[in-house]
Copies of this chain bind each other. A is one copy, B any other.
């Protein structure tokens, strides 16, 4: 039954650029809509289907299914079954998949100069952590040493700075010098928008535990490039 359909497009038959250039091949692999953002959401570790859906507002279930299938076929993602008790299926990047982080960072840094960039839109916790990795300026941090925990929705992250290097990972914030609780856009407003802590705490948009001065220093370590068309080019 319907053998002709099977033969007509036996399997992939993906649209490719037919170009030996590496960049073109990269687009063959991750150029489809949503593909790179799915990778982004997996960069801090495995996630379940519904977590991905929740963190990618606007993606539909069938497109997410298609992307995960495609990324699995090309060897960028693997499905893994968690051992019981937590017997759930998760998607995880392969080693090669994790190597896509520089791509995501380069794109992100470049686009920050766009005059059309609207930073008031929603932001996932993963995106925020990756932006810290991308925008961290060691010369601003000097000999700063410290760690800050983040509680964003149900997710937990920990950022550690020492020796002019930054680490931003998913994990338990307990034991950090300070812990911030709030939404990702609020955290972004502090670090990138220059909004003072008090304003947000006053609005109950943010909760701060621990070393306040340390958080205020931390917020100065992530300078943004100038917008294009800005006279201070």
> Which positions in A face B, CB cutoff 8 Å?
17-29, 31, 33, 36-37, 40, 57-58, 74-75, 94-96, 99-100, 102-104, 106-124, 127, 130-131, 134, 185, 188, 228-229
Contact = CB atoms under 8 A, between A and B. Distances in A.
Given A37-B27, A74-B116, A96-B228, A109 B22 contact: yes
A33 B36 contact: no
Contact of A20 (B21, B103, B119): B119
A31 B33 contact: yes
Copies, count: 2
A106 B103 CA distance: 6
A94 to B, nearest CB: 8
A97 to B, nearest CB: 10
B20 A37 contact: no
A27 B20 contact: no
A24 B214 CA distance: 30
